[in-house]
A and B are shown apart, each in its own frame.
Chain A
Amino acid sequence: MSYFADVRALARKDLLLELRARDTLPAMLLFVVAVFVVFHFSLPARSSDVAAGGLLWVAIIFTALLGLGRAFVPEREQRVLDALVLAPCDRSAIWLAKALATLAFLAVAELVAVPVFALFFHGLSAAAILAIVLADLGICAVGTFLGAMAVATRARDLLLPLLFLPLAIPIVIGGVGASVVASPGRYLGFLGLYDLMFALVCWASFEYVVTE
């Protein structure tokens, strides 16, 4: 399958770049831990564990936003995107590869963030972990797509959070729901539905974002 070979080559390029330059991941890690410390001081002594569980989702969304904001910066600075569009590969492969690379960064950040959260606040249920995994898929699919849109504009970094947060509200609802209720099945199902629908739309329409 040459499509998946293209995706693999492109994703490998991003991971290698990160491995050598270490631009994004250390920033995400530092950011998420700093956010937890801020949360500790913004939750008064008698506030419940439920509140902390909700704030975890705020931390995830904003940490992801930090990584997504950086995702297309190398492409922009070196004008790689023009070359990728000229390359004889399906344009949606560019989106899929970038989403997978961002997903890898976010997953590593969360491998640190979730234990730190457990240490600072409270442990997470299996449903909450599953919700984080499902939410990551949606965050990276939609966020990468919007990141590509944002770098095409003059406003750039300013625009991404504005585009992303309204679309992230359903993810937060599904994630918080799955973390706090007793039977999280509906919320997990909803997150899966979100991932599926938006991944399809992104996959089908990415071509129009990078071409004229």
Chain B
Amino acid sequence: MTPGRAQLGAVGRLQRIPLPVLAAASVVLVTGALALVFFVAPNDQFLGFSQRIFYFHVSIAFTAYLSFGFGAWKGLLHLWKRDPDADLESYVAIHQGVIFGVLVLVTGSIWAKYSWGHWWLWSENQLVLFLVLFLFYAAYFMLRFSVDDGPQRANLSAVYALFGVVLIPVSFLAIRLAQNFIHPVVFTRHGANFGGWMLVTYFVTQVAVLALAYTLYRVELAGKRLDARLRRLRESYA
């Protein structure tokens, strides 16, 4: 958008990929991931068929963390470099993070039901953490939409987004301290205790969900920028 602004190399290259190409790649990747999850990956030894939701649950959770982190990074760029696009990018990233966070709660809830017979388990750390994060980032929207558009709104949003990346590890630690860890540990300290097709399936699903998230981010960003341009045009002709 704005030429000559400082960009991370990889992100800069990603931004030049046209949206239709991204969308097509996401469709192919998600289809491939679904095929792998349902037809190729073997059943889990202990949890059986229901374990397959793990591939999406974990991929989505990772994507949500990444979105929150990216939103905070853009918030930092706003405060630090006064990057004019950073505020909108931060907001859209956090919006994506909340949507994926809700999906984590939904998939985690389904997994808990089929593994332990309850829709909600306070002993499942990931679910509790995402509930806390959901409450925190839902308040982000309340904050953002009760301030008028302008530099103050951008500042408050950015600072709050930065609070988020401090809250994530602190809450993680707090929830670990609060209860026993009974979530089935798939990645142990000795590496993944699954191999072959399971690992491939997880990897492809992760890439697919990331591609989907990035595509949605770009679509949302394009829409929001169009809205802003339309508003400016309207104001200048009014």
**A residues touching B (Cβ–Cβ < 8 Å)?**
149, 152-155, 159, 162-163, 165-167, 169-170, 173-174, 177, 186-187, 190, 193-194, 197-198, 201, 205, 208-209, 211-212
Contacts and interface: CB of A to CB of B under 8 A. Distances in A.
30 contacts: A149-B143, A149-B156, A152-B147, A152-B152, A153-B143, A153-B147, A153-B156, A154-B147, A155-B146, A162-B138, A162-B139, A163-B142, A166-B167, A170-B171, A173-B178, A174-B177, A177-B178, A186-B177, A190-B174, A194-B170, A198-B163, A198-B166, A201-B162, A208-B79, A208-B155, A209-B155, A211-B155, A212-B150, A212-B152, A212-B155
B102 to A, nearest CB: 15
B152 A166 contact: no
Contacts of A211: 155
B77 to A, nearest CB: 13
Interface in B167-201: 167, 170-171, 173-175, 177-178
The 6 closest A-B pairs by CB, nearest first: A170-B174, A166-B136, A155-B146, A153-B146, A212-B151, A173-B174
B132 interface: yes
B54 interface: no
Contacts, number: 85
Contacts of B133: 166
A207 B178 CA distance: 34
Contacts of A173: 174-175, 177-178
B135 interface: yes
B178 to A, nearest CB: 5
Given A173-B178, A186-B177, A167 B152 contact: no
B178 A197 contact: no
Nearest to B173: A190
Given A154-B148, A155-B142, A177-B178, 11 more contacts: A149-B143, A149-B159, A152-B147, A153-B147, A159-B143, A163-B139, A169-B174, A190-B173, A190-B177, A193-B173, A201-B163
A201 B178 CA distance: 24
A212 B133 CA distance: 27
A166 B139 contact: yes
Interface in B20-49: none
Most buried by A among B156, B162, B175: B156
Given A169-B171, A170-B170, A205 B159 contact: yes
Contacts of B152: 152, 212
B160 interface: yes
Contacts of A186: 177
B177 to A, nearest CB: 6
Interface string B52-84: 000000000000000000000000000100000
A177 B143 CA distance: 31
Most buried by A among B158, B160, B170: B170
A78 to B, nearest CB: 20
A208 B147 CA distance: 14
Contacts of A169: 132, 171, 174
A152 B146 CA distance: 9
